[in-house]
Amino acid sequence: MQETSGSAERQLAAGNLLYQAGQGGNAWLLLEGSIRLDRPEVRDESGFAGIAIKGDILGAETMLLGNYTYTATALTPCKLTRWPEGSSQPEPAALLKALSSAERRGADAVAMRCGEAATRVRRLIALMAATSSSRQLSRLMLPALRDMAEITALTIGTVSRILVQLQAAGDLARSETRRGRPRNTALAKPNFL
């Protein structure tokens, strides 16, 4: 929780919650990392509704509706900042940019559910790689298997098998996998005060 009160910036560890559907709050610009969006209706099911990567705007709907439509959770470590930066009203040009990146990201999300399992996982990895600086993506910089499975509409087992294949083929850096109990940086821990 390295956040000073009133700061416009925010850091988020992988797996942590940025905001929850229904809450009030401001929009965010994602400076680093990747975030998944989930529809609130579906409780235990996947609920996956979209993804955001570096440069995308999240939660712009609060400026219209007052509260968030989706729940946002970090897939990888994230850095964010309030949006829009200075003014409380975004410029039309900035809104257009947000709109067109939202459309592109929607298309990306659809594409990650298209074709064979290996293709889909490959596409997800490619998207994450666009976020990352290094070209050879390490296993540690990927989202949890569960997230990858829900994004690609596959099962955890299938994603695991495919990652093994990709590592064997040299398409993915072989590295330690992230197991064990996640940090209890609590999905539900309120971030205000």
Partner DNA sequence: CGGCTTCTTGAAAAGTATCAAATATAGTGG
Partner DNA sequence: CCACTATATTTGATACTTTTCAAGAAGCCG
Per CB under 8 A, residues contacting a second copy are 37, 39, 46, 48-50, 60-61, 63-65, 69-70, 89-90, 92-93, 95-100, 102-107, 109-111, 113-114, 153
| Alpha carbons 121 and 8: distance in angstroms, whole number | 34
Nearer to a second copy, 39 or 54 (CB): 39
175 sits near DNA (criterion: CB under 7 A):
no
Window 92 to 131, contacts with DNA (CB under 7 A): 116-118
* Euclidean distance between CA atoms 84 and 184, whole angstroms: 31
Contact 84, 35 (CB under 8 A): no
Whole-number minimum distance, CB 46 to a second copy, in Å? Answer: 6
Rule CB under 7 A: say whether 2 interacts with DNA: no
Q: Which does 177 bind (CB under 5 to 8 A by kind): DNA, a second copy, none?
A: DNA
Kindly report whether the peptide bond that precedes residue 84 is cis, defined as omega within 30 degrees of 0.
yes
184 makes contact, choosing from a second copy, DNA, none, with CB < 5 to 8 Å by partner type, with DNA
Q: Kindly tell me which of 63 and 129 has the beta carbon lying closer to a second copy.
A: 63
Burial class (CB in 10 A: 0-12, 13-18, 19+), 100: exposed
27 or 141: whose CB is closer to DNA? 141
Question: Nearest 5 degrees, angle CA 66-CA 71-CA 76?
Answer: 130
What is the footprint of DNA within residues 137-166 (CB under 7 A)?
A: 144-146, 153-158, 160-161, 163-164
- Min dist. Cβ of residue 14 to a second copy (A): 21
Alpha-carbon torsion angle 129, 131, 135, 139, nearest 10:
-60
Q: Which two tokens stand for residue 98?
A: 């947000």
Report d(CA 16, CA 189) in Å as an integer.
9
Q: 117 is in the binding site of which of DNA, a second copy, none (Cβ under 5 to 8 A by kind)?
A: DNA
Name residue, tokens 């969006």. 37
Q: Which does 61 bind (CB under 5 to 8 A by kind): DNA, a second copy, none?
A: a second copy
| H or E stretch covering 101 | helix 92-111
Which chain residues interact with DNA by CB under 7 A? 116-118, 144-146, 153-158, 160-161, 163-164, 176-184
